[in-house]
Amino acid sequence: MIEFLELILIFIKKMYKLKLFKSSIIYLLVSFSGLYITKIGLSPIYFFSFLGFMLFLAFFKNSLKITLSEKLSVTTFLYFLITNIFLNFDPSALIGLLLSFAVYFVVSNTITNLNTTPNYNKVINLFFFVTLPLLIAETIIRYAYPIGIDQFVEMGREDIIFYIFKFNSIMFPDSNFTAILILCIISSFFYLKSINSENKNRLIFIILYVLLILTLSRAAILSGILLLLLFKFRDVIYKFRKFILFFSPIFLLVIISYITLIEDDSIKVKFQLFDNAKLILKDINSIDLLFGVGLGNGQILFGKGTHNLILTYLFEGGVIGLLLFFTFMSHLLFKTKYKLGIIIFPFLLAGMSFSSTSIPFLFAILALFSNYEENRSQYFITRL
């Protein structure tokens, strides 16, 4: 096996002069990062990621310029790898998280060190056109073959029977995961439009928002609305960013207070998780609090899935894991002068109802655009 991999590396190095090979690293890791099909076992994303990593290793230089965000991604990667070795972790959860941070490092470092300037429009448009057929098929199958209808009828919960259309996804465990992927694609197009107003992708936005609504993920739909507001008022928000950040905790408390008044079982369950978290924190030992109980083990503590990104990082990755995650995200915001907020903030809001740490498509997009912001004067965005 090792000899086979060495032959592949030698072949790729022979093709070094072809610029296509270097730029293909970015296309493989960004444009194909949404190809999840859990129903077939091993999703296509792992194949394309493997090819991208192999190409990166083939062009790897002994002396690399490594940015602070790349150092943070490597630090987080190593932290979760090392700590989970000593814990009873879920292999798929760990692989997904490691893949996410590895994708960020490779995409970012490829742009930084291999003198590769991607055509951002082409990368994101390919991301859309590669993923769209799968998203449409996933939506059709969920609605054509719903599952769980008998259970809801037996419980007398016809009022929430729409949940039957959230399951039976061919891509993910349920449509909340699908919604996050769609939200990331939408964010990408909004970002491109913010730096080049000539981008006219109205039909694409319509298609994506229809698919987002059909996921029935209320947190993601709310995030999609927030995304529209962030884009429309981006100049005003940037101008008063310090004021908004200072008073954001107050705004958040007001919103949470309003939400708690809503009679909705799903919302009640989300807030019940935080009540359970308080009880768990009282009994958890200091080691587990610091380093976590292992990726994928949050459901052991809560008796069910955490359904919340913050709780997932806190209890599965520990206080250190949560701090590393927010340090990484905060650095990207400050590094880009909050320009990536149009991607990060909607994701974090949707994360209130989403618990997966396997999100390579988000990290690929963040790597792509954070490097653009860092070297903005060198790049020119052209319309596809």
Which pLDDT value is given to residue 326? 94
Q: What is the mean pLDDT of residues 324-331?
A: 95
Evaluate if residue 200 carries a pLDDT over 80: no
Cα atoms in the Cβ-side hemisphere of radius 13 Å centred on 339: 20
Lowest mean pLDDT segment, chosen from 53-67, 100-114, 244-258: 244-258
User: In this predicted model, what pLDDT tens digit does every residue of 274-296 receive, in sequence order?
Assistant: 778 888 888 889 998 999 999 98
Q: What is the mean pLDDT of residues 118-122?
A: 84
Structure tokens at 346: 């909607």
User: In this predicted model, what pLDDT tens digit does every residue of 9-34 receive, in sequence order?
Assistant: 554 554 444 556 677 889 999 999 99
Which pLDDT value is given to residue 304? 72
Q: What is the mean pLDDT of residues 257-271?
A: 57
User: Using an 8 Å Cβ cutoff, are 67 and 370 in contact?
Assistant: no
CA gap 72, 331 in Å, rounded = 9
Which pLDDT value is given to residue 246? 65
Angle subtended at Cα 357 by Cα 51 and Cα 267, rounded to the nearest 5 degrees: 145
Evaluate if residue 380 carries a pLDDT over 50: no
DSSP 69-106: HHHHHHHHHHHHHHHHHTS---HHHHHHHHHHHHHHHH
Q: What is the mean pLDDT of residues 90-105?
A: 94
Which pLDDT value is given to residue 242? 67
Evaluate if residue 3 carries a pLDDT over 60: no
Question: Which of 342, 335, 334, 345 is closest to 372 using CA atoms?
Answer: 335
Instruction: For residue 8, name the pLDDT band (cuts at 50, 70, 90).
Output: low
Instruction: For residue 71, name the pLDDT band (cuts at 50, 70, 90).
Output: very high
Lowest mean pLDDT segment, chosen from 58-62, 184-188, 231-235, 325-329: 58-62
Lowest mean pLDDT segment, chosen from 146-160, 167-181, 208-222, 326-340: 146-160
Which pLDDT value is given to residue 146? 86
Q: Which residues contact 330 (CB under 8 A, 6 or more apart)?
A: none
Instruction: For residue 381, name the pLDDT band (cuts at 50, 70, 90).
Output: very low
Evaluate if residue 136 carries a pLDDT over 60: yes
Predicted TM-score (pTM) of this structure:
0.86
User: In this predicted model, what pLDDT tens digit does every residue of 238-249 receive, in sequence order?
Assistant: 777 667 666 666
Based on DSSP, count helices (H) and strands (E) in the chain, helices before strands: 18, 0
Q: What is the mean pLDDT of residues 151-158?
A: 63
Q: At what angle do helices 19-26 and 91-113 cross, to 10 degrees?
A: 140
Better pLDDT: 249 or 369: 369
Average pLDDT, the chain: 82
Q: What is the mean pLDDT of residues 304-327?
A: 89
